[in-house]
Structure 1
């Protein structure tokens, strides 16, 4: 196997989404090439970060209790987490929402429903893959 294969398999992606079906889909899409951890809320994501450091976070924008904007603010305010790339997952196509997300520190947006090619293109680009 080429070296790039081993680098990808060791990359760790945290997926944060309150919809269990979206978590399953993301895990099925990414799980063969990456280590994938899934949590169902912003609070769970912040707790997860205390124990493990992913290479990339895929973060749902609209969640109850703590939305993606609040979560990314907390992540980016912590010195030890602020350099972890964050990509928002959203069903919205509002330019103002995207502008706000980018201002808060997101690098990209992946539109729901998740499409494998779109997800892999974004993930590979941010993790330095092909």
Structure 2
């Protein structure tokens, strides 16, 4: 017997990574865990998708903003790092409560602590594994 979910019942995750392979891996793992996934190749595209403009007041969103239940982003990306994206999201009155997960292939304690102090929900080391995604999925269910 299969359970049918309304689209609103399925958590929507925005996955941001400049590396196509990593982005596709995260997307596949999230979909395997019954999440709806939107991907972006960099922080600026993610901000566009969320309706944030770099020069816009941080407490407003333009009409194109979309609702997501979680954002998972790579730390090191050209143009705008995952840390900078995290800062923009946490400065937005409308997005500040959306959990942000940072992922990186580099295990640098200062970087990890900096992200967590700025409001990241978690810091995951790459490659992202199914167990990581299952933990995130359980967390989304609690929200």
Aligned to 2:38: 37
Aligned to 2:138: 125
Aligned to 1:52: 66
Residues 66-106 of structure 1 deviation map (CA, whole Å, 9 limit, x = unaligned): 10111111111010000000000111211111110011110
TM-score by length of 2: 0.81
Q: Is residue 16 of structure 2 the alignment partner of residue 16 of structure 1?
A: yes
Deviates more, 1:66-75 or 1:24-33: 24-33
Structure 2, unaligned runs of 5 or more: 52-64
TM-score by length of 1: 0.88
Structure 1, unaligned runs of 5 or more: none
Which runs of at least 4 in structure 1 moved beyond 6 Å after TM superposition? none
Higher gyration radius (CA): 2
Distance 2:91 2:29 in 1: 30
RMSD of Structure 2 on Structure 1 (CA): 2.1
Q: Is residue 72 of structure 2 the alignment partner of residue 71 of structure 1?
A: no
Offset at residue 126 of structure 1 (A) = 2.3
Q: Which of the pair is proportionally richer in helix?
A: 1
Q: Is residue 105 of structure 2 the alignment partner of residue 104 of structure 1?
A: no
How many residue pairs get aligned? The number is: 127
